[in-house]
Structure 1
Amino acid sequence: MSGPAVTALSNTVCELGEGPSYDPGTDTLYWFDIVNGLLVEHRSGTETKTHPLGRMASAIAIVDGDRQLISAEDGLYLRDTATGKLTLHMPVEADNAVTRSNDARVHPCGAFWLSTMGKKAETGAGSIYWFFKGELRRLFADISIPNSIAFTADGAIAYYTDSKTGLIMRTACDPATGLPAGEPKVFADRGDGSGDHDGSVVDLDGTLWNARWGEACVNAYSPDGKLTRSVRMPTRQPSCPAFYGPKADRLAVTSAWADMDADQRAADPQAGKTFLIDLPVRGRFEPRVLI
């Protein structure tokens, strides 16, 4: 039985494509080429644009109709949507040259979970932070590759992983603040698989969709952590999904050619593109972040 069609949404190739986020107000998908400091913008029916940021960055959230919040290697920046001008809003590990930003997502209450990691994935160099209405707190430290930050629609459950561990963690969450409300417990175990859990989103049914870096697939987990579906991808290193389209009923997935040698790239010619999975999902739009 064949799976859903997976096609290139954009032929723009990223060394490390990450952080996709869809803006329903403009029908635009944004994502990043982290290591090359690029923000990529794809509006339906138009050509894909790339915006040099002058720094590594990895995640974007909507503040309002005029501004976005970007998580970058030295902090959170406000971006003027019309001009692209960046203004530092809050430093995050700005004095730590070892780290950069990585995975992030907005909690339904408007809080922003963001993360850092070593630029060379140094063991234990990263952290996961909570940012809400001007306040920044470190939630989890000693993380090597933070990923899979995602929330249920009611804001009562948060997920995250350190990709080096092979475990997606689940923790109770305060729906009003987005702060953890219990000790993290194992939600899903990579098991004997060769790949790593990368980025995730959670749909309205509570299904967690996870990009499996190194295994050329996007996996779906039920709310009790059981693997219910695996969608094959046309590249080995899918990195992060996002709900896409005016009804948030499709999945867009970034990918990367990072860490591939010449032979591996030749064998994986679509690595680094961003894809669309033609599989109906009950997705939802990202909340606006409260700064």
Structure 2
Amino acid sequence: MSNVFDERRCVLGEGPLWHPERQQLFWFDILSKQLMTRENGKAGSWEFDECVSAAGWVSKSELIIASASRLFLFNLDTEAQTKLCDLEADDPVTRSNDGRADPKGGFWIGTMGFNAEQGKGSIYRYYRGELRRLYSGITISNAICFSPDGRTAYFADTATRSIQQVALDADGWPDGTPTLFADLSQEGLNPDGAVIDADGHLWNAQWGANRVARYAPNGSFVEEIGFTAHQVSCPAFGGADLGTLFATTAAEGLDGTVEGQTYFAQTAAVGQPEHRVIL
């Protein structure tokens, strides 16, 4: 059973992040160019000059944020921005999309075309000052998340209706060729953002299906949590005990007040604390 956490309608809600030091949820409305939050029942937001989509926490006051053309450090207290590096700044067709910090302190970020142009996206890792392209030819980058032991990364190209997995080396870089984790094509499901709980189960938001689905480490379906909104885009575990599953949604192309709101559901699972990004 899901409940409304924040009633504001995001055109394209994405990238929920539970900051473990602040005990506070942040998320994005990509197309409205906003970082959003709610603290002690009070709604807050920051507006930027281009689309923003994903973040990791660096300190209590600083986030690393991915935008359409760069990665930058953002101070929540002073609102100061410090550019870290370009992100496809020379390609006006693309923007950032899904992203998450890995257990080694790296930050993975995917890109895609503004209009989901085929094969225009990539997935990158920013680690200790270096941005490296890991995968190219991706249409809609999504589902970036990591096993609790730090040995496996997961990601999806939503257009393929499948989730991939790849082994990681001791420094958190991919080691070998990605393999299939879950094939959702037979069910016509569209894998969007994902997060992994402390037991290694992957929770995947499925665009257009009103749900977040839980998969065991072997890729088998376990259960689902239903949401009123159709276009569920990304989950995140938070709350004092990390047992609350938050989920962003998107109102883009839909009518109705429930679309685009941010939701939460209590679960019997326990999430992983979001990893700190090491610059």
The residue that corresponds to 1:97 in the other structure is 92
Q: Quote the offset at 1:193 in angstroms.
A: 2.6
Q: Contact 1:204/1:283 (CA < 8 Å) preserved in 2?
A: yes
> Is 1:49 aligned with 2:49?
no
Question: Please, which of 80, 85, 91 is the counterpart of residue 80 of structure 2?
Answer: 85
Question: Please, which of 261, 264, 274 is the counterpart of residue 276 of structure 1?
Answer: 264
> Is 1:199 aligned with 2:193?
yes
Q: Secondary structure at the match of 1:48?
A: strand
Q: Secondary structure at the match of 1:164?
A: helix
> Is 1:252 aligned with 2:246?
yes
Q: Which amino acid aligns with 1:42?
A: R
Alignment of 1:14-163 (within 5 A): 14-43=10-39, 45-163=40-158
Question: Please, which of 208, 219, 226 is the counterpart of residue 225 of structure 1?
Answer: 219
Q: Which amino acid aligns with 2:249?
A: S
Q: Contact 2:161/2:188 (CA < 8 Å) preserved in 1?
A: no
Q: Which amino acid aligns with 2:133?
A: R
Q: Which amino acid aligns with 2:210?
A: A
Q: Quote the offset at 1:195 in angstroms.
A: 3.4
Q: Deviations over 1:35-84 (max 9, x none)?
A: 110000112x2311121112101011111123210011111011012022
Structure 1 segments of 4+ aligned residues over 4 angstroms from their partners: none
Q: Quote the offset at 1:145 in angstroms.
A: 0.1
Q: Deviations over 1:140-170 (max 9, x none)?
A: 0000000000000111010000000011001
Q: Contact 1:111/1:177 (CA < 8 Å) preserved in 2?
A: no
Q: Which amino acid aligns with 1:16?
A: L
Distance 1:195 1:178 in 2: 29
The residue that corresponds to 1:180 in the other structure is 174
Give the unaligned 5+ runs of structure 1.
none
**Structure 2 length as normaliser, TM-score?**
0.97
Question: Please, which of 203, 207, 211 is the counterpart of residue 209 of structure 1?
Answer: 203
Distance 1:122 1:59 in 2: 20
Q: Contact 1:152/1:206 (CA < 8 Å) preserved in 2?
A: yes
The residue that corresponds to 1:170 in the other structure is 165
> Is 1:10 aligned with 2:31?
no
Q: Which amino acid aligns with 1:12?
A: R
Q: Contact 2:211/2:224 (CA < 8 Å) preserved in 1?
A: yes
* Cα-Cα RMSD: 1.0
Q: Quote the offset at 1:257 in angstroms.
A: 1.0
Distance 1:93 1:105 in 2: 18
Q: Secondary structure at the match of 1:36?
A: coil
Q: Secondary structure at the match of 1:13?
A: coil
Distance 2:61 2:266 in 1: 31
Distance 1:21 1:65 in 2: 13
Q: Contact 1:194/1:215 (CA < 8 Å) preserved in 2?
A: no
Q: Quote the offset at 1:24 in angstroms.
A: 2.2
Q: Deviations over 1:240-273 (max 9, x none)?
A: 000111221110000001133xxxx13xx30101
Q: Deviations over 1:173-231 (max 9, x none)?
A: 12x32211121111101133333100000111110000010111110000000001011
